[in-house]
Chains A and B, each alone.
Chain A
C-alpha cells in the first residue's frame, strides 16, 4: 500500500512556542491531505483538509490562525501549531489521498506542551 510519513514522531515544546509537523506521501502524489487530532481514549477528529496550491478548509471550531497548514507540493503538507499551550497536547495524524480517493495515514506525531 501507499506510504505516508510524519516528522517528528514526538515533540515536546514549551508553552508559547510554535511547532511544525510535516506529512509526506512517499510513493504517490496527493493533491489532498487531511489533518486529524486525537485526544487520549477518544477517536480521531478531522481538523482540516489541505489542498495543494490552495488554502486549507478548516472544520468548525478549529482556529485557522492557530493551526497553520501549508500544502506547497504534491507530496508535502505541514501543520504549524502556533503559540502552543498545554491544551494543544495531543496526537496529530495526517492522511494523504490518492487519485482513487483512498486515504493512507501517517504514523502520527505526539505533541506535548509543557
Chain B
C-alpha cells in the first residue's frame, strides 16, 4: 500500500499557484519524498524530490515540514498543460524492494482558464 495520503482532486485557476499537499506521517529517516505527475495516457513524469530541505527546480518547489510528516508541491504559475494526476511517493534511495516506487491514487489537478 502507498505510504502517502493526498486529496483526490483539486482545482486551480490558470496563472495562479497550485499547492498540492501530501501526508506521509510514517516516513522513515532514509526515505525521500518524490513527486511525479501523469498526464492522460502518458507515462509518469518526474517533477522533484527531497529528503528534508526544501527544493526548487524549473518545474516546481517542494516544501517539506520540519518533522517530515507532510509536504507540499508548489507549481508557481499553473497552466492548462499542468492538468494531470500528481503522485506523492516516499521511497528509499537504494536498490531492493524498499527502493520501489509505490503509486497511490494521487491528486487529480484541474487547471481552469
Could you mark each residue 87-113 of chain B with 1 if its beta carbon is under 8 Å from any beta carbon of chain A, else 0?
100000111010111111110000000
Describe B's contact surface by its main secondary structure.
loop
B44 within 8 A of A: yes
Cβ–Cβ contact B43 & A34, under 8 A: no
Closest-by-CB residue of B relative to A32 is B95
A108–B43 Cα gap in the complex (Å)? 5
Q: Which residues of A contact B101 (CB under 8 A)?
A: 34, 46, 95, 103
Q: Which residues of A contact B43 (CB under 8 A)?
A: 4, 6, 93, 95, 105-108
Cβ–Cβ contact B46 & A91, under 8 A: no
Q: Which residues of B contact A107 (CB under 8 A)?
A: 42-43
Pick the residue among B45, B94, B105 that contacts A43 (CB under 8 A): B105
A46–B100 Cα gap in the complex (Å)? 8
Closest-by-CB residue of A relative to B36 is A105
Cβ–Cβ contact A46 & B102, under 8 A: yes
A110 within 8 A of B: yes
A55–B37 Cα gap in the complex (Å)? 30
A28 within 8 A of B: no
A75 within 8 A of B: no
A26 within 8 A of B: no
Cβ–Cβ contact A110 & B45, under 8 A: no
Closest-by-CB residue of A relative to B87 is A43
Within 8 A of B (CB), among A41-73: 43-46, 49, 57
Cβ–Cβ contact A44 & B46, under 8 A: no
A103–B46 Cα gap in the complex (Å)? 8
Cβ–Cβ contact A108 & B41, under 8 A: yes
The 5 closest A-B pairs by CB, nearest first: A105-B43, A101-B93, A44-B103, A43-B103, A105-B44
